[in-house]
Amino acid sequence: MIPGLSSLIQQLPERATAFDGSQFAFPMSEALFGSPPDLPRLREEAEHLDAGDAQPQEAAWVALAAAEAAESARPDREEWFLTDGRFRGIVFTGIKWRAGWALVLGEDQEAYARAFDAAGFMTFVTRAGLEVGRFLGERETASLYFAQLLARYALVYSDVEPGQSHELTHFIEDHGPAVLVVSGRMRPVEALLCLSFMRLGVGAIIAEADFPWQVGNRVEVDSPEAAVAATAGFQNLRIRSQDDSLSALPEYADPAFLREEFEPARRLGGGSNSFLLLRAGEAAETASAEALADGGTAASEDIGILVTTDDATLDAPAAEELESAAAGYLNLLRGVRVEQTDPLTLALKEGGDPPLEQMGEVVRRGLRLEYPRLGPIQVEVISAGARLEGLAGEAKAERERRRDEIARMAEADEAEVYSCESCAPFSREHVCFVHPLRTPMCGRPWSEMVVGARYMGVSAGRPWRRRGRPENCCTVVPLGREIDPVKGEYEGLNEFVRRATNGRMERVFLHSVRDYPHSSCGCFYALAWWSEEMGGIGVMQRGFSGAAPDGSTWNSLSNRAGGKQQPGITGVAIGYMRSPKFLQGDGGWGAVKWMTRKLKEELREAVPEIEGIPTEEEAGE
């Protein structure tokens, strides 16, 4: 007899009821068997297993499907079941920004849940009243919702198809960002589901002397601290590249001040001679400010911050991005908030009037910490005098020159692109390639990848990564020999994508949605897909609540595209939709047969070709 199996089978309802809000009505059963739970078959197999000499792990699939059927019939199931939208949110927030997911089982969950939460895990618990952790319910079958999370992660973010249980277990073992933590004694059904998780490929950390199963990938520990330390041996979990670099800023700068709310007592700057400018030039690694009569605090309406870096690689997009970062560091000072940068305007709290030397030093230290490969950085803070007026004129001319340079870059044929792997922690096959004419699908400025590739040592602000991947998520990629410049296929790009994805992607088209499109992450602003039914391309923005003429919804498209290269669909941003190369390999906007009204309104002025394209309203839907 297998402990807990007969008790679990007794909980089976007369019929299983499909979960609402998901493409997968029974995610766990569909992942294992390719179909909803077959209750008569589950009863028959459970009886056979219990009557024979079967090992407990042989009941794993029956146990998971039975638990799903039991939970499907509960009146409060909507409280616990994750819709596809919520599921994708947990994937994004729980893997890109954390080490992974930790399911804590057993009777002593509080200390272990707290330790794993502090260590950067998204923690799930099955005991009520805990201060940390996402509560799944206290039923013995409550951990089933964690199993559904893993099943959908495999079905959406990999090439595992429903019913491929063997491929499912390999994907979860190698890439599923999950760990089990057994904090103490478990109830029989709970223990059987714990064993089922282990057979799925989830590693376990055991802090229970009487743990009943001597199988699977497991580590025994005796404390919450030892449990967290043991995760270093689990290759499927994400790792942190570095501690927050802002912790090394001057003692008067604190990231907590970024969230400081206050009513300004006064404002500094905002006049015609106020500016913040970052430029290339001869520089020494220093920060300086005028010595004012009032002891070094700002005394005039105007203020200028001139940042000079001695770096020959600094071009217009890099200068703009670094200049924006420089302004952001000022918000790390108590009682200071940057309201705008052109002209530079600072809101100051009552008593929040830092010495100008602090302003210069926090800018210099911030840039040096986040961009350690940038050349010498010299920061000057100027608050009055003829030099301020002269520099303000120079700043205006420099910004105009930069705008012209960026415009020329947008018209030139690309010889190289920049890659970004910041979504790789949750999107196994995805690598983003960006250029002025192929901006990131998440909507971030492409210049972020430029400065990341050139000047960062590690990916500041995006520290979690897959083991074996570079600490810096950005790099420059020479395109190499043209294979098909219209579709955007290049020899060097293909070589890079093969290395970056361990051969899971072999080719990529930058400007075509068919055959080998650019892979998609999951935080894409919009999706473009090829529809045979519509006879061309459809384009839909995130969260659209309706359906395209071919029946496609945001939910179905997102699941289809998420985290991988999928022929016929790709993520796109507004910036790329404005590009003259937008899906030119398929005919560009001439091939688009339907788009959402919201996108049409956003693009109307920049892309006159869209006027004749029907939307949900113009198609009479």
Q: What mean pLDDT do residues 294-317 have?
A: 80
Task: Give the model's pLDDT for residue 320.
Answer: 96
Asked whether the predicted pLDDT for residue 291 surpasses 80, the reply is no
Q: How many residues are present in the chain?
A: 621
What confidence tens digit (pLDDT) does each residue in 151-178 have? 999 999 999 999 999 999 999 999 999 9
* Whole-Å CA distances, 58 to 54, 198, 506: 6, 12, 38
Give the pLDDT band (50/70/90) at residue 147.
very high
Asked whether the beta carbons of 547 and 497 are under 8 A apart, the reply is: no
DSSP codes of every residue in 44-108: HHHHHHHHTT--GGGGHHHHHHHHHHHHHT-TTHHHHPPPHHHHHHHHIIIIISSSEEEEEESS-
Asked whether the predicted pLDDT for residue 282 surpasses 50, the reply is yes
Q: Of all residues in the chain, what percent carry a pLDDT higher than 70?
A: 96
Give the pLDDT band (50/70/90) at residue 269.
very high
Amino acid at site 370: E
Backbone angles phi, psi at 479, to 5 degrees: -75, -35
Closest of 613, 497, 408, 554 to residue 83, by C-alpha: 554
Domains detected in the chain: 5-237 (3.40.50.2030), 245-410 (3.30.1650.10), 416-612 (3.40.1470.10)
Looking at the chain, the number of H-run helices and the number of E-run strands are: 19, 24
How big, in percent rounded to 5, are the helix, strand and coil portions of the chain?
A: 40, 20, 45
Asked whether the predicted pLDDT for residue 65 surpasses 70, the reply is yes
Task: Give the model's pLDDT for residue 294.
Answer: 43
Task: Give the model's pLDDT for residue 150.
Answer: 97
C-alpha 562: how far from chain center: 12
C-alpha 337: how far from chain center: 27
Asked whether the beta carbons of 153 and 176 are under 8 A apart, the reply is: yes
Give the pLDDT band (50/70/90) at residue 461.
low
Which helix (DSSP H) or strand (DSSP E) does residue 370 occupy?
Answer: helix 356-370
Q: Is 43 in a helix, a strand, or coil?
A: helix
Q: Which of 22-26, 433-437, 455-459, 527-531 has the lowest mean pLDDT?
A: 455-459
Residue 468 backbone zone (phi > 0: left; psi -120 to 50: alpha; other: beta): left
Task: Give the model's pLDDT for residue 214.
Answer: 85
Question: Dihedral angle at the C-alpha atoms of 150, 156, 158, 162, nearest 10 degrees?
Answer: 80
Asked whether the beta carbons of 234 and 203 are under 8 A apart, the reply is: yes
What confidence tens digit (pLDDT) does each residue in 376-403 have? 999 999 987 888 999 999 999 999 999 9
Bigger pLDDT: 139 vs 461: 139
How far apart are the C-alpha atoms of 132 and 378, rounded to whole Å?
Answer: 45
Closest of 562, 566, 592 to residue 577, by C-alpha: 592
Which helix (DSSP H) or strand (DSSP E) does residue 171 occupy?
Answer: helix 165-175
How far apart are the C-alpha atoms of 438 and 273, rounded to whole Å?
Answer: 36
Asked whether the beta carbons of 510 and 493 are under 8 A apart, the reply is: yes
Closest of 593, 590, 601 to residue 619, by C-alpha: 593
How far apart are the C-alpha atoms of 69 and 349, rounded to whole Å?
Answer: 58
How far apart are the C-alpha atoms of 117 and 178, rounded to whole Å?
Answer: 13
